[in-house]
Structure 1
Amino acid sequence: MNYVQAADDYILYLEVEKNYSVNTLNSYAYDLKLFGDFLDQNNRSLMLDEITSSSVRRFVQDQVIQYEIKPRTLQRRISCLKSFTQYCLKENYMKVDFMAGIQAPKSDKKLPSYMTLPDLKKLFSSLETDERPLALRNELMFKLLATTGMRRQELVDLTWEQVDLNYKTVLIRGKGKKRASPPSSSDRHSFN
């Protein structure tokens, strides 16, 4: 089977059967396209059974040397290709895993930095006294992020249906739209 067709099938599978987020789908589609473009530009076969681990290593080398890709991004691209080949093997699109033996580079684990409680109080105080047009929205957004532990994307995706003004709670849907069914009280965060 042709790489491009298999990549299209894989993205559709992730969207329909795995219910991946739009951001994840876009990232995977981009990574798969980059590898396909690399194969094409270097006159390498786009037939799945003719792609070799040597081509993958050249792709990784090209990403690092030519484009100075950071280890974390390279890890994601390799992970995407490994997941793709597993799908292709399962669907019998190919017989040999061209990602076998390919290792992602190690990267330094970046520890998150947290605001101190006094800094957080200063931020909240500043937001509460702000009188610009979007001040109330900004205040609520920062307070939700700081007090609920929700991710930035969860806040961006928040809808009115998730807000219960009577109980003063917010239903937060996790990555991949995961949530308890039906929503339990532990899924909701109070915003008193």
Structure 2
Amino acid sequence: MDVQKAVDDFLFYLEVEKNYSPNTLRSYAFDLHCFCSFLHKQQRSVELKSLDITTARRFIQDQVLSYGIKPRTLQRRISCLKSFSHYCVREKWIDIDFMSGVDSPKTDKRLPVYMKLEELRMLFRKLECEEHDFAIRNELMFKFLATTGMRRQELVDLNWEHIDFGTNTVRVMGKRSKERLLPLHASVIPLFISYRKSLRQDQLHPGEPVFLKSLWSAY
């Protein structure tokens, strides 16, 4: 079996059986594309059974010297190859894990930066004073994020069917399709009412996104 065929099967496995998110799948696909491109450019064998630890280390070296890949990206790329190699061994396509013994570079852990309460209040006051086409939407988005702790992508993926105004709760689809139920803060409910009034009836269909992508990208 050639490497590209194994890569295609691996990505299909991650999508269907592991239910990885589209963003994660794109990252895996790109990292493995870089590896396959390296094999072709270096005129190395693209047969899966020919891969060994030397090939893996040459790839890592090439990523650093030729492309200046930073440690955090390199760490992700190595992790991807480790998962791919482990999968190939499990499927009995290869006998030896060609990533065994390859270590990831250490990276400095970046601590999250949080807004102070007064900074958040200042942001809210500014949003409340704005008057333009996106004013209500923007105020709702930021207050919604602040009161629920949702991730940005979760907010973008939110559909009207996920919000229950009867119980004032929102059903959030997180990573790997894990769900959690969050309460709607009293401060955002009037904003939701105003925001809904600003939309067309077809934009309020249960399957439609709450925050339209066209509006999201326009701001």
Superposition TM-score tier, normalisation by shorter sequence: over 0.9
Query: 1:174: how far off?
Result: 1.5
Give the whole-Å Cα distance in 2 for the aligned partners of 1:191 and 1:137.
16
Query: 1:85: how far off?
Result: 0.8
* Residue 189 (structure 1) aligns with: 183
Query: 1:61: how far off?
Result: 1.1
Where do residues 81-96 of structure 1 align in structure 2 (5 Å cutoff)?
81-96=81-96
- Aligned-residue CA RMSD (Å): 1.1
* Residue 37 (structure 1) aligns with: 37
Deviations 1:110-136 (A, max 9, x none): 111110000000001111111110111
Q: Secondary structure at the match of 1:170?
A: strand
* Residue 168 (structure 2) aligns with: 168
* Residue 5 (structure 2) aligns with: 5
Q: Secondary structure at the match of 1:98?
A: coil
Name structure 2 gaps, 5 residues minimum: 187-219
Q: Secondary structure at the match of 1:188?
A: strand
- 1:151 paired to 2:145: no
Give the whole-Å Cα distance in 1 for the aligned partners of 2:178 and 2:4.
30
Name the count of aligned residue pairs.
186
Query: 1:141: how far off?
Result: 1.1
CA contact (8 A) 2:124 2:139 kept: yes
Give the whole-Å Cα distance in 2 for the aligned partners of 1:189 and 1:71.
39
Query: 1:167: how far off?
Result: 2.2
Give the whole-Å Cα distance in 1 for the aligned partners of 2:46 and 2:156.
38
Give the whole-Å Cα distance in 2 for the aligned partners of 1:83 and 1:49.
16
Name structure 1 gaps, 5 residues minimum: 181-186
Give the whole-Å Cα distance in 2 for the aligned partners of 1:67 and 1:189.
46
Instruction: Tell me which stretches of 4 or more aligned residues in structure 1 moved more than 2 Å.
Output: none
Query: 1:69: how far off?
Result: 1.1
* Residue 46 (structure 1) aligns with: 46
CA contact (8 A) 1:170 1:191 kept: no
Q: Secondary structure at the match of 2:67?
A: coil
Give the whole-Å Cα distance in 2 for the aligned partners of 1:115 and 1:179.
26
* Residue 109 (structure 2) aligns with: 109
Query: 1:170: how far off?
Result: 1.2
Identity of aligned residues (%): 55
Give the whole-Å Cα distance in 1 for the aligned partners of 2:132 and 2:111.
34
* Residue 138 (structure 1) aligns with: 138
Q: Secondary structure at the match of 1:96?
A: coil
Give the whole-Å Cα distance in 2 for the aligned partners of 1:22 and 1:13.
13
* Residue 18 (structure 1) aligns with: 18
Give the whole-Å Cα distance in 2 for the aligned partners of 1:188 and 1:148.
7
Query: 1:66: how far off?
Result: 1.4
**Structure 1 length-normalised TM:** 0.93
- 1:76 paired to 2:76: yes
Q: Secondary structure at the match of 1:38?
A: helix
Query: 1:189: how far off?
Result: 2.2
**Structure 2 length-normalised TM:** 0.82
Give the whole-Å Cα distance in 1 for the aligned partners of 2:132 and 2:53.
56
Query: 1:191: how far off?
Result: 2.7
CA contact (8 A) 2:148 2:182 kept: no
Question: What one-letter code is carried by the residue in structure 2 that aligns with 1:71?
Answer: P
Give the whole-Å Cα distance in 2 for the aligned partners of 1:125 and 1:171.
28
Deviations 1:29-56 (A, max 9, x none): 1111100110111011111111111111
Question: What one-letter code is carried by the residue in structure 1 that aligns with 2:166?
Answer: N
